[in-house]
């Protein structure tokens, strides 16, 4: 049976956030946070826009989600992000105690798994959801940058 609100559905929403970042000249990474089947937070990279190296999609989504819930913990939530979180974002995920992380493309250079960085022991991690689409957006951005 087809589930309309599965990982693919929510990752497509994260991809929409990444595309929004792309239109603003940001590295196209998008994130959403889902709680009880409802999107409670969205974010896309705003490093250039805010001149802030910590303004990653995940970080902005964490802030929005904790504000929405009125709690610093996201135990019953899932983070959907188009690119594997970096060490900083994995560290923030640890502190939020997020229940689950689903990412699209692996990041062989900066991804938390490459650096053997850990998220909270109770956090489930799933990678590779719509990885091809996520990678295509990143490739598009970096090709545009090279053309310049």
Residue 58 annotated among the catalytic residues of the structure: yes
Measure Cα distances from 147 to 25, 28, 43, 46, 144 in Å.
14, 17, 27, 22, 5
Closest Cα partner for 78 from 117, 45, 126, 116?
A: 126
How far apart are alpha carbons 38 and 22 in whole angstroms?
25
Out of 17, 26, 58, 84, which one is annotated catalytic? 58
How far apart are alpha carbons 136 and 120 in whole angstroms?
30
* Nearby residues of 136 by Cβ (< 8 Å), 6 or more positions away: none
By the 8 A CB rule, do 101 and 120 touch? Answer: no
By the 8 A CB rule, do 45 and 21 touch? Answer: yes
The residues annotated with a catalytic role in the active site are 58
């Amino acid at each position: 049976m087809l589930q309309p609100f599965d990982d693919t559905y929510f990752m497509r929403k994260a991809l929409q956030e990444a595309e929004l970042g792309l239109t603003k000249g940001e590295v196209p990474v998008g994130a959403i946070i889902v709680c009880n089947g409802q999107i409670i937070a969205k974010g896309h990279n705003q490093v250039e826009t805010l001149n802030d190296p910590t303004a990653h999609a995940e970080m902005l989504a964490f802030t929005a989600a904790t504000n929405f819930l009125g709690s610093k913990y996201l135990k019953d939530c899932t983070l959907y992000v188009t690119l594997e979180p970096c060490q900083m974002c994995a560290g923030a995920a640890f502190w939020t105690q997020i229940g689950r992380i689903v990412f699209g493309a692996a990041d062989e250079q900066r991804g938390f798994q490459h650096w053997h960085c850990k998220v909270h022991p109770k956090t489930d991690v799933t990678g590779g959801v719509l990885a091809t689409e996520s990678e295509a957006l990143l490739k598009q951005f970096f090709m545009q940058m090279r053309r310049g």
